[in-house]
């Protein structure tokens, strides 16, 4: 049997101490992400909708929280993909807005559309819808559970109600959020002048 000397013991002990010290000074990527999220939450204004907890799934199946959109202005609305009249017009309003900006300018803000329909509008369906509407990478379509959708609708003052024929009666409301998720301007109804929304957005660049 190999004899363990005091020198060998001290060498091993010192090595373990150095290893533990390095790990303590270099937290894992998950710890870094958690710390960053906590800092972001503390820095958000009290009236930011990004304070809403809970995870959403986007059209690519990725899980995220609303505060993931912090850092850029956001054009926000709520729709559902089986809507045959108002929602396509809402999307068209936003596409007209997008067309007023150059490809470079479009990277300075983001479109977020949340579905009212937590049952049918799963990520795969949202992806199909995004492709059919030819929506680019600066568009996020989100699916959430029933309670989360209701909470967000209340926070954004968007009303909706499921009706007997499988449809959803809802208000048509588009919002411009600042970089911290605070509602700066709302546009109600269909056929909104895209120049009006553009003027609000440009002040945030």
Let me know whether 15 and 82 are in one domain.
Answer: no
Residue 79 within any structural domain of the chain: yes
User: Percent of the chain, pLDDT > 90?
Assistant: 77
Residue 145 within any structural domain of the chain: yes
Residue 182 within any structural domain of the chain: yes
| Contact status, residue 187 vs residue 197, Cβ threshold 8 Å | yes
Let me know whether 12 and 107 are in one domain.
Answer: no
Let me know whether 57 and 35 are in one domain.
Answer: no
Number of structural domains in the chain: 2
Please report which confidence band the pLDDT of residue 152 belongs to, taking 50, 70 and 90 as the band edges: very high
Let me know whether 11 and 67 are in one domain.
Answer: no
Taking residues 105-114, what's their average pLDDT?
98
Let me know whether 32 and 11 are in one domain.
Answer: yes
Let me know whether 23 and 111 are in one domain.
Answer: no
- CATH classification at residue 80: 3.40.30.10
Let me know whether 57 and 36 are in one domain.
Answer: no
Measured in degrees and rounded to the nearest 5, phi and psi for residue 14 equal -65, -40
The answer, yes or no, to whether residue 154 has pLDDT greater than 70, is yes
Residue 73 within any structural domain of the chain: yes
Give the pLDDT confidence score for residue 42 in this predicted structure. Answer: 66
Which residue is it, tokens 């553009």?
A: 198
Residue-wise DSSP of 136-168 = -TTEEEEE--HHHHHHHHHHTT--EEE-TTS-E
Let me know whether 34 and 53 are in one domain.
Answer: no
Q: Return the CA Rg of the chain.
A: 23
Give the pLDDT confidence score for residue 40 in this predicted structure. Answer: 55
- What is residue 2's three-state secondary structure? coil
The answer, yes or no, to whether residue 5 has pLDDT greater than 60, is no
Give the pLDDT confidence score for residue 33 in this predicted structure. Answer: 38
CB 185: neighbour CB atoms within 10 A? 15
Let me know whether 96 and 163 are in one domain.
Answer: yes
Let me know whether 23 and 107 are in one domain.
Answer: no
Q: Which of 90, 92, 69, 85 is nearest to 142 (CA)?
A: 69
CB 201: neighbour CB atoms within 10 A? 21
Give the pLDDT confidence score for residue 41 in this predicted structure. Answer: 57
Q: Which of 56, 55, 60 is nearest to 124 (CA)?
A: 60
The answer, yes or no, to whether residue 39 has pLDDT greater than 70, is no
Residue 1 within any structural domain of the chain: no
Identify how many contiguous H helices and E strands the chain contains and give both numbers: 7, 9
39 vs 132 pLDDT, higher one: 132
Give the pLDDT confidence score for residue 144 in this predicted structure. Answer: 99
| Contact status, residue 44 vs residue 180, Cβ threshold 8 Å | yes
Assign 3-state DSSP to the chain and report helix, strand, coil percentages, each to 5.
45, 20, 40
Let me know whether 178 and 86 are in one domain.
Answer: yes
Task: Tell me which of 26-30, 129-133, 151-155 is least confident.
Answer: 26-30
- Count how many residues are written for the chain: 205
The answer, yes or no, to whether residue 35 has pLDDT greater than 50, is no
| Contact status, residue 113 vs residue 86, Cβ threshold 8 Å | no
CA angle 132, 134, 139 (to 5 degrees): 110
CA dist 26 and 87 (Å) reads: 48
Let me know whether 138 and 182 are in one domain.
Answer: yes
Enclosing domain of residue 23: 6-43
């Amino acid at each position: 049997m190999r004899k363990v000397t005091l020198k060998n013991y001290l060498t091993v002990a010192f090595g373990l101490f150095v290893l533990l010290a390095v790990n303590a000074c270099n937290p894992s990527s998950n710890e870094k992400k958690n710390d960053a999220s906590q800092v972001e939450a503390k820095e958000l204004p009290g009236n930011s909708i990004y304070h809403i907890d809970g995870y959403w799934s986007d059209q690519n199946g990725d899980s995220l929280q609303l505060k993931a959109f912090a850092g850029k202005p956001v054009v926000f609305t709520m729709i559902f993909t089986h809507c045959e009249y108002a929602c396509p017009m809402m999307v068209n309003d936003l596409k007209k807005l997008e067309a007023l900006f150059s490809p470079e300018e479009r990277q300075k803000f983001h479109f977020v559309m949340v579905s009212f329909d937590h049952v049918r509008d799963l990520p795969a369906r949202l992806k199909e819808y995004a492709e059919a509407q030819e929506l680019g990478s600066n568009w996020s379509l989100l699916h959430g559970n029933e309670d989360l959708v209701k909470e967000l609708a209340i926070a954004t003052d968007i009303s909706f109600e499921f009706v007997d024929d499988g449809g959803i009666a809802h208000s048509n409301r588009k919002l411009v959020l600042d970089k911290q998720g605070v509602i700066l301007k709302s546009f109600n109804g269909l056929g909104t002048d895209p120049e009006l929304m553009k003027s609000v957005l440009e002040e945030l660049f």
